[in-house]
Amino acid sequence: MARAAVALVPLALTSLLGGCRESAPEQRWLELTQARPQDRLGVYLNERLVLHFSEALEPESVHGGSVRVLASDGAAARGRLSVEGQRIEFQPAPVLAADLADGGFRPATRYTVELAGFPRADGLRSQSGLPLASSLRWSFETVAVTEPRSGFVFEDSSPTSGSPVILRSTLIRPLQPILLTCLEPIDPSTLRSEDFELVPETASPAQGRTRGDMIPLVVRLVRNDERQPYKEDAALIELTPRDRLLAPGTYGLAVKRNVRLRDFGGHPLWVLNSSYREVLKLRVEPATGEDDGSLARYVESFLDARTLSTQAVPGSDGAARWSGNGRVEVLFPAAAGRGTDGDMQLSAGAFEGRELHAATLSVGPANRVSLQAPGAIVLRSQGRIAVAGELCEDRPQPTWDSPTLDAVLQAQRARLGGRAPTVSEVLTALLEAQVHAVVLVSGADLVITGSIELASPLVLIAGGRIRLASERQLSVPRLVFLDAGTRQLGFTDASGAPLLARADEQGWVVDPPAANPLVRPLKLALYSSSIPPEGGAVRWRSTPTVNLRAGAGAARVLYVGEHAPSVGARVPDVVVDDPAALVDCPTVRLLVELEVFPGPVWDPPFVDDVTLEYEPLGPKRDR
């Protein structure tokens, strides 16, 4: 105690003397006091990250650079970052897709939380200006999703029971979707299109019928927010008739008794009318509004392949088919294989195999691949084939009595009695006869920016386009090819300009697969030429009419606005989902995208026609 009293004396004297010698101020920092969830393994897909700090935070210091949530592959988790007092919250983006992989958190994924602190100038700080002492980071892993489910994957705010799903749109127009809402979020994996159907009411006394044929519906979850007090809904479901427009009249919404709809806690959800008393009925009223006589109409029915642009669509595996039959569709040869060899990049040196079943296939720009197996060599790929290096052969040449390509094809035509052979039949015959030939089969585009030099005949088959930079890249004695346009459309270069090529008219038929062979999604797309073909538009009317069928995949039409020439630098084209959003774009191009997913059935999507309305620059002209 005596030592303590002595030690206090100088401080007392200093104070009495008016602070002639100031002591150094105590260093203080902003500190993280708590982080939730505390259990870092099995974090739910909708679980919030909550961070508590020692002092109230300066809101401007809380941003995407000071608080980051990154997946193991470096992708940022999507979600909403908010700050209130001493707390920061990260709410992951809601899950909408049936595979649960489109939300802010992906299943069975490791995430790292990074907080920026001193000495970073953009780090977290308190309202009083105290910085976070140092940068912090820690990791957590989201819950795995298994089928059948072995546990919860969502945090449920109503753990005791489920809420009703309400039919909100009892009166709609022909192009409007049917709307269902729910007070709480829905497990997207339990929302199935096949659980809902639309039944038109009809009066046919002669046939004794009061109900028409079932109309299948495409069901889509468009909002799936967390439950909030005083809000009418958290989830919003759109139901759209498949491949048709609804005629005016009365309809009943049929929901299967064993509907699989569940909330986040696995509780069953039932569908009711908004009055809670009436049956699930809705009425479709005729479209309102008089026809605007100043508008022109353009209908693209995909009957004239001359309005097709052969330009490649970035981000797609290859070109969709527009051959003049009235549809944009998928031309996937069954001969493209099973994809069991995965993504294959042929390395430099010898390739001794006779067959390959790749998901994608490539030859790197610095690689020279030598084919050495005798007989027919068939390299198949479900997706794109890209030859950027050299493809050649180093094998004994056939003897004079070996079967030739022409001899086998002629024998096959005779055996089929004049019927056109399928591509699969042709390849089977070449392999069985051990014809000395090389065959490349792609379910998408077949792109050759390198070179192919062979002493054997070359057969190129593509569900998309065959694209070369120059004809001189092929040095072969015989060439037969087939691609997505027509049987003899010809090659195109990287810009889409046509190239001449040697080929024989064989009349082969591309046969589709009997079952879905895909090991990963396949995306095919194409552009149209400029619309309208003459004149132009002052403005575009909203919501073009698109007739399509999604099948076991997805189909959509986007619009590429082509800006008018202006003073200064050229304004780049813009892609929108509604042409009414375009400004100063007298012409547009259609961008048609088709995607086929792996699954139990082969039912690819297609687009039938697109109708656009616009105010023309000159006199009104309909097409």
Instruction: Name the average pLDDT for the chain.
Output: 84
485 and 349 housed in the same domain:
yes
Distance of CA 179 to the CA centre of its chain: 24
CATH (domain of 36): 2.60.40.3710
The CATH number that applies at residue 201 is 2.60.40.1220
Is 444 part of any domain? yes
Q: Is pLDDT above 60 for 519?
A: yes
Residue 278 shares a structural domain with residue 312: no
Q: What average pLDDT score do residues 347-356 get?
A: 90
In a domain, 14, yes or no: no
Average pLDDT over residues 131-147: 93
550 lies in the same domain as 477: no
Angstrom distance (rounded) from CA 299 to CA 170: 31
Of the candidates 513, 459, 520, the one whose C-alpha atom is nearest the C-alpha of residue 333 is 513
Average pLDDT over residues 524-547: 87
Residue 96 sits at φ, ψ, to 5 deg, of -120, -25
Q: Which of 127 and 163 is assigned the larger pLDDT?
A: 127
User: Is 8 within the bounds of a domain?
Assistant: no
| Partner residues linked to 264 by β-bridges | none
Q: Are residues 38 and 65 in the same domain?
A: yes
Which tokens sit at 142?
């989201």
Kindly state whether residues 238 and 219 are assigned to the same domain: yes
Per-residue pLDDT tens over the stretch 564-608: 765 444 667 889 888 887 777 899 999 999 999 999 999 999 999
pLDDT attached to residue 41: 92
Local structure of 182: helix, strand or coil: strand
Mean pLDDT of 416-424: 83
Biggest CA-to-CA distance, the chain: 119
Give me the mean pLDDT over the 263-282 stretch: 80
Domain that holds residue 95: 32-142
pLDDT band at 288 (very low <50, low <70, confident <90, very high): low
| 37/73 same-domain check | yes
Q: Is residue 151 part of a domain?
A: no
Res 160 pLDDT > 80: no
| Mean pLDDT along residues 421-430 | 89
The verdict on 455 and 375 lying in the same domain is: yes
Q: Is position 6 within any domain?
A: no
Q: How many domains does the chain have?
A: 4
pLDDT band for position 287 (cuts 50, 70, 90):
low
21-35, 127-141, 331-345: least confident range: 21-35
User: What per-residue confidence (pLDDT) applies to 172?
Assistant: 86
Long-range contacts for 237-240 (Cβ within 8 Å, ≥24 apart)? 237/165, 237/179, 237/180, 237/181, 237/182, 237/186, 237/191, 238/177, 238/178, 238/179, 239/177, 239/178, 239/179, 239/180, 239/196, 239/198, 240/177, 240/178
Tens-digit pLDDT profile for residues 427-442: 998 888 888 899 999 9
More confident residue, 39 or 370: 370
Mean pLDDT score, 543-564: 90
Q: Are 418 and 460 within one domain? A: yes
CB 172 within 8 A of CB 285: yes
Rg of the Cα atoms in the chain: 32
Model confidence at 256, pLDDT cuts 50, 70, 90, reads confident
Q: Which residue has the higher pLDDT, 585 or 83?
A: 83
DSSP secondary structure letter of residue 6: H
Between CA 136 and CA 33 the distance in angstroms is: 12
Residues 357 and 463 in one domain: yes
341 and 314 within one domain? no
> Please, are residues 166 and 66 in contact by the beta-carbon 8 Å criterion?
no
Show the tokens assigned to 51: 């961070």
| Domain annotation covers residue 136 | yes
pLDDT band, very low/low/confident/very high, at 11 (cuts 50, 70, 90): very low
What is the predicted pLDDT for the residue at 412?
A: 81
